[in-house]
């Protein structure tokens, strides 16, 4: 049993305790939260830390299997040229994928991340996830813009889900993005999803080019599909609508859905989303580090707040980010949106992610009975409750 205290404790659900005391069982389960109202007296056996305690973080979007691509691509090249570099890199599968995935997993653990919603196109990272201290929910991602690819894509996805299950990993089959999935593949994914009842994820509104594709059938993305992926796109008929309006209805509204990136999302898009599914099982995942890396812009986060959306935070992969750290993503958001409180940021970084991945029974918030992992933030502005560029994280349990 341990008793832990710090200057401040944020519980991840909006409550803040000044010099509160957490009593933890040997496995990290929280047995008691004592609100001292700032009056902490010297008592034996209390570990007191300078800084702020927050719950373990949930990384709602990552691609662990792309960790070997760290430092492989230049920054700020734009969306389609980033896609091309990823496609080129996949042509030769290096043998260091599992090794680099393991390194990234260890770093995420050190960065106070306790759970990850992780995209996989194959099984290369599964052993690492199986052996990890981190809880992984795997989104097995399907790809196939050509309708004839649908069956093969689903076949491979089912092999991956079976392999995941054999290793005790939870996994669902998901579509990659509107510009890489045919109507047939969407339908197959939806049928499987209704049967499995598990959360879904899709890269959504990450680029402006995907709208051009659906609205006019022209532009850089269509050239990418033809020239870099050698896909015959003559079957494709533009809908005249945005990519999201053209595809979102393909995903069953009863399944939880993580919409990832939302970089170009506007109010009319949010109105549309609400017309086809409930907001209560829809999660808006922000990956600000990746958005800056590829396109040097951030989503309109205040728009999401005004609409009371359920916001989560993800790192995306090391192919498009400098590190896999939710704390660093929070710093990026705070710098661009200084009026967002640390309490609110923490709820996105921990509690909302745990709900999106359906693990809020043990993760996401500092509550009696949970074992969410305990992080200590040091080197922050405690009086203003703000992160500073040099704020560090230490995993206490
Ligand atoms: Zn991604």
The CA 320 to ligand 1 mean position distance, Å, reads: 9
The CA 42 to ligand 1 mean position distance, Å, reads: 48
The CA 287 to ligand 1 mean position distance, Å, reads: 9
Interatomic CA distance for residues 101 and 357, integer angstroms: 21
Instruction: Pick the closest to residue 5 from 164, 18, 16, 312 (CA basis).
Output: 18
Note the residue count of the chain: 397
Q: Quick one: pLDDT at residue 298? A: 98
Dig out the tokens for 280 from the structure: 């209560």
How far from chain centre, in Å, is Cα 206? 14
Q: How many helices (H) and strands (E) does the chain have?
A: 14, 15
**Cβ-contact 201, 61 below 8 angstroms:** yes
Q: Quick one: pLDDT at residue 391? A: 98
pLDDT digits (tens, 9 = 90+) for 348-395: 999 999 999 999 999 999 999 999 999 999 999 999 999 999 999 999
Dig out the tokens for 9 from the structure: 């404790």
Domains of the chain: 2-54+382-395 (2.30.40.10), 57-324 (3.20.20.140)
The CA 31 to ligand 1 mean position distance, Å, reads: 37
Percent of the residues in the chain that have a pLDDT greater than 70, as a whole number: 98
Q: Quick one: pLDDT at residue 95? A: 76
Of 89-103, 230-244, 323-337, the range with the lowest mean pLDDT is: 89-103
The CA 158 to ligand 1 mean position distance, Å, reads: 20
Who contacts 112 (Cβ-Cβ below 8 Å, separation ≥6)? 54, 56, 57, 326, 327, 373, 375, 393, 394, 395
The CA 308 to ligand 1 mean position distance, Å, reads: 24
| Residue 87's pLDDT band (cuts 50, 70, 90) | confident
The three-state secondary structure class of 293 is: helix
Q: Euclidean distance between the first and final Cα of the chain, in Å?
A: 12
pLDDT digits (tens, 9 = 90+) for 263-321: 999 999 999 999 999 999 999 999 999 999 999 999 999 999 999 999 999 999 999 99
Residue with tokens 């009975």: 369
pLDDT digits (tens, 9 = 90+) for 73-82: 888 888 988 8
Task: List, in sequence order, every beta strand (DSSP E) within the chain.
Answer: 2-10, 16-18, 21-24, 30-34, 46-55, 57-62, 113-120, 135-142, 170-175, 200-204, 257-261, 282-286, 311-313, 374-378, 392-395
Q: Which residue has the higher pLDDT, 343 or 43?
A: 343
Section 237-249 average pLDDT: 94
Section 200-208 average pLDDT: 96
**Cβ-contact 241, 235 below 8 angstroms:** no
Spell out which residues have Cβ within 5 A of ligand 1, the ion: 316
**Cβ-contact 147, 235 below 8 angstroms:** yes
Side-chain half-sphere exposure of 239, counting CA atoms within 13 A:
13
Residue 194 in this model has a pLDDT that exceeds 80? yes
The CA 277 to ligand 1 mean position distance, Å, reads: 22
Average pLDDT, the chain: 95
Who contacts 201 (Cβ-Cβ below 8 Å, separation ≥6)? 61, 117, 119, 139, 174, 257, 258, 260, 285
**Cβ-contact 388, 379 below 8 angstroms:** yes
| Residue 91's pLDDT band (cuts 50, 70, 90) | low
Q: Quick one: pLDDT at residue 92? A: 60
The CA 381 to ligand 1 mean position distance, Å, reads: 32
**Cβ-contact 68, 94 below 8 angstroms:** yes
């Amino acid at each position: 049993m341990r008793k832990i205290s710090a200057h401040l404790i944020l519980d991840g659900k909006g409550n803040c305790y000044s010099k509160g005391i957490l009593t933890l069982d040997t496995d990290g389960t929280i047995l008691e939260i004592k609100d001292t109202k700032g009056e902490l007296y010297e008592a034996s056996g209390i570990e007191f830390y300078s800084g702020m305690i927050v719950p373990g973080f949930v990384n709602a979007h990552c691609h662990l299997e792309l960790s070997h691509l760290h430092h492989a691509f230049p920054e700020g090249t734009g969306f389609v040229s980033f896609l091309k570099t990823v496609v080129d890199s996949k042509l030769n599968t290096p043998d260091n994928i599992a090794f680099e995935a393991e390194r990234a997993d260890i770093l995420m653990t050190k960065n106070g991340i306790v759970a990850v919603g992780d995209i996989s196109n194959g099984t290369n990272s599964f052993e690492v996830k199986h052996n990890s201290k981190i809880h992984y929910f795997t989104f097995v991602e399907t790809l196939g813009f050509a309708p004839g690819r649908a069956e093969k894509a689903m076949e491979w996805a089912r092999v991956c889900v079976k392999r995941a299950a054999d290793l005790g990993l939870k996994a669902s089959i998901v579509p990659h993005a509107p510009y890489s999935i045919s109507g047939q593949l969407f339908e197959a994914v939806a049928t499987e999803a209704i049967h499995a009842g598990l959360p879904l994820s899709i890269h959504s509104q990450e680029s402006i080019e995907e709208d051009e594709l659906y609205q006019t059938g022209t532009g850089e993305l269509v050239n990418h599909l033809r020239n870099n992926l050698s896909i015959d796109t003559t079957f494709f008929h533009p809908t005249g609508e945005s990519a999201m309006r053209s595809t979102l209805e393909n995903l069953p509204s009863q399944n939880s859905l993580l919409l990832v990136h939302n970089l170009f999302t506007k109010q009319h898009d949010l109105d549309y989303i609400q017309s086809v599914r409930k907001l209560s099982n829809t999660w808006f995942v922000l990956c600000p580090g990746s958005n800056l890396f590829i396109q040097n812009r951030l989503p309109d986060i205040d728009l999401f707040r005004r609409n009371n959306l359920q916001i989560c935070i993800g790192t995306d992969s090391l192919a498009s980010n400098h590190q896999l750290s939710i704390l660093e993503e929070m710093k990026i958001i705070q710098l661009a949106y200084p009026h967002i409180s640390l309490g609110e940021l923490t709820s996105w970084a921990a509690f909302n992610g745990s709900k999106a991945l359906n693990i809020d029974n043990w993760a996401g918030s500092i509550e009696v009975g949970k074992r969410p992992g305990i992080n200590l933030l040091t080197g922050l502005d405690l009086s203003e409750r703000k992160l500073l560029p040099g704020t560090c994280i230490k995993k206490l349990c």
